[in-house]
Amino acid sequence: MVIVKEWFTLEEAAEYLSVSKRTIYKLTTEGRLAAFRIGQERHRRFRKVDLDKVPILKQTPQTSKLKPLSAKEDPVLAELWNNARDAAYDRI
């Protein structure tokens, strides 16, 4: 028997939408996502139906033209990124 989850906690809603908890708070504050308060501590719960209605950011023609930055293709970036001060970050 498969149980379909209908109500989500804040953490579960954030994970379901692959966003941060802060983004969930922002969506509810802006009125783009309905939240229900339960209990004396007023915990938020979210319905799956409402989570599915949240628009997902899609690539626009403008964002699809953007290229990732790389030191290989830009000598100025190479000089900024590849130096002794930043060597510690190269190991991360």
Please give the mean pLDDT across all residues of the chain: 80
- For domain 1-58, the CATH class is mainly alpha
Question: What is the DSSP secondary structure assignment for residue 41, as one 8-state letter?
Answer: T
Instruction: Kindly list the domain boundaries of the chain, sorted by start residue.
Output: 1-58
pLDDT in tens, 52-80: 988 765 555 555 666 776 767 777 777 77
Q: How many CB atoms lie within 10 A of CB 14?
A: 19
Average pLDDT over residues 76-87: 70
Burial class (CB in 10 A: 0-12, 13-18, 19+), 8: buried
84 or 45, greater pLDDT: 45
Contact between residue 26 and residue 67 where contact means Cβ atoms under 8 Å apart: no
Which of 57-61, 82-86, 88-92 is predicted most confidently? 82-86
